């Protein structure tokens, strides 16, 4: 029964989780909060300040000692460079001190494998939505294939940035940009940032109307490309992962589409949707079980690490 510890720190959250044969033994994390947004160097400084405390918590909550750990997994990418390096350095050091194998994990695949573990979804079409990523993914021939993605900013970034502009409602028509299997959010964000003050001052709409309309529009775009991927793959399951996947309205809209198609919707709550160490441990557990390890000289990080660049050796 392999026990894997996972280190996640690709953005503003630092988390360390421990997995043993599909059981989450611990999953503490900390969040670097500094409005608005966060800088890579400051985020890395935060991670360095708390990572050993979080590591101690993870071991104590799991009731384990370093000698009980069979493998150390860490987020190789994608993400912010400085925080990724900080976590990779600690993971490499821990692996050498404890005499355990090391595994570099793709962040997105961590989300997918955690979602599959928690929901028991078999072979779903995956919508991965977060502050830094927006992808529609399906598994085929030992790869998680990207069927569609944002061609500019991520959906979480779009929503977060507009939330800073204005401090159930009437719907305001906004640009809707789906290009084949891909989506674009920069146009709608530029439009609403530019027009919001005019529309509010003229009394055309309220702040609540604009927030509601932005969310409805971008979520409709995501539902459309997810449904298209399902039709292409013949899939009857949808799994939503990533931080934006916590949004109940997105889950509701996706659920309506799934019901119309006779399909099933799977999603997790904030414990596992939001970046966490257990998801890296779970993906690492799957990789370790299939015989993968990362040699020390190859244990670097990459800010641009495509989901479909990883050979999925643990699935048929």
Asked if residue 129 belongs to a known ligand binding site, the reply is yes
148 with 99, same domain: the answer is no
Predicted local confidence at residue 50, as pLDDT: 98
Q: In whole angstroms, what is the distance from residue 48 CA to residue 83 CA?
A: 9
Is 111 known as a binding-site position? yes
CB 12 within 8 A of CB 29: no
Question: pLDDT tens for residues 129-164?
Answer: 998 889 999 999 999 999 999 999 888 888 776 655
Q: Is residue 303 part of a domain?
A: no
CA angle 278, 279, 284 (to 5 degrees): 95
The answer to whether residue 312 sits within a structural domain is no
180 a known binding residue? no
For residue 70, name the pLDDT band (cuts at 50, 70, 90).
very high
Q: What is the pLDDT of residue 124?
A: 98
Residues 195/197/198/200 CA torsion (nearest 10 deg): 110
Stretch 293-313: mean pLDDT:
96
Tell me: is residue 32 an annotated ligand-binding position. no
**What is the predicted pLDDT for the residue at 132?**
86
One domain for residues 286 and 248: no
- Which pLDDT band, with edges at 50, 70 and 90, does 169 fall under? low
Identify the pLDDT of residue 72: 98
Q: Are residues 214 and 142 in the same domain?
A: yes
Quick one: 136 and 246 in the same domain?
yes
Q: Which of 9, 4, 36, 34 is nearest to 22 (CA)?
A: 4
Q: Is residue 304 part of a domain?
A: no
- 10 Å Cβ neighbour count for 38? 17
The answer to the question of whether 131 is labelled as a binding residue is: yes
Supply the pLDDT for residue 166: 47
Q: Is the confidence at residue 167, as pLDDT, over 50?
A: no
Q: What is the pLDDT of residues 72-103, one digit of tens each?
A: 999 999 999 999 999 999 999 999 999 999 99
Q: Is 99 annotated as a binding residue?
A: no
Q: Which helix (H) or strand (E) holds 217?
A: helix 207-233
Q: Do the domain assignments include residue 314?
A: no
Residues 246 and 158 in one domain: yes
In total, how many domains does the chain have?
Answer: 2
Whole-number Å distance between alpha carbons of 250 and 246: 8
Range of the domain at 215: 123-269
Q: Hey, how many other C-beta atoms are within 10 angstroms of the C-beta on 209?
A: 17
Does the pLDDT of residue 24 top 80, yes or no?
yes
250 and 160, same structural domain?
Answer: yes
User: Residue 277: what pLDDT?
Assistant: 98
* CATH number of the domain that residue 23 is part of: 3.30.420.40
């Amino acid at each position: 029964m392999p026990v894997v510890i996972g280190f996640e720190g690709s953005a503003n959250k630092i988390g360390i989780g421990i997995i043993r044969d599909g059981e989450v033994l611990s999953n503490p994390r900390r969040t670097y909060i500094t409005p608005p947004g966060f800088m890579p160097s400051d985020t890395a400084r935060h991670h360095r300040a708390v990572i050993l405390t979080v590591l101690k918590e993870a071991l104590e909550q799991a009731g384990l000692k370093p000698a009980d750990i069979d493998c150390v997994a860490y987020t190789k990418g994608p993400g912010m460079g400085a925080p990724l390096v900080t976590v990779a350095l600690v993971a490499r050091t821990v692996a050498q001190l404890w005499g355990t194998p090391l595994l570099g994990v793709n962040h997105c695949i961590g989300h997918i494998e955690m979602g599959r573990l928690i929901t028991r979804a078999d072979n779903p079409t995956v919508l991965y939505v977060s502050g830094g990523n927006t992808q529609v993914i399906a598994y085929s021939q030992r790869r998680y294939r990207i069927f569609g993605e944002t061609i500019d900013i991520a959906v979480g970034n779009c929503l977060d940035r507009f939330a800073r502009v204005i401090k159930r409602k009437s719907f305001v028509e906004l640009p809707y940009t789906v290009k084949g299997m891909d989506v674009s959010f920069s146009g709608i964000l530029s439009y609403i940032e530019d027009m919001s003050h005019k529309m509010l001052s003229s009394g055309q709409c309220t702040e609540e109307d604009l927030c509601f309309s932005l969310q409805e529009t971008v979520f409709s775009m995501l539902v459309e490309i997810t449904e298209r991927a399902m039709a292409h793959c013949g899939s009857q399951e949808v799994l939503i992962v990533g931080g934006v996947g916590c949004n109940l309205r997105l889950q509701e809209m996706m659920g309506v589409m799934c019901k119309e198609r006779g399909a099933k919707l799977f999603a997790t709550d904030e414990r596992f949707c939001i970046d966490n160490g257990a998801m890296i441990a779970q993906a690492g557990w799957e990789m370790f079980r299939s015989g993968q390890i990362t040699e020390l000289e190859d244990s670097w990080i990459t800010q641009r690490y495509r989901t479909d660049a990883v050979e999925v050796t643990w699935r048929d």
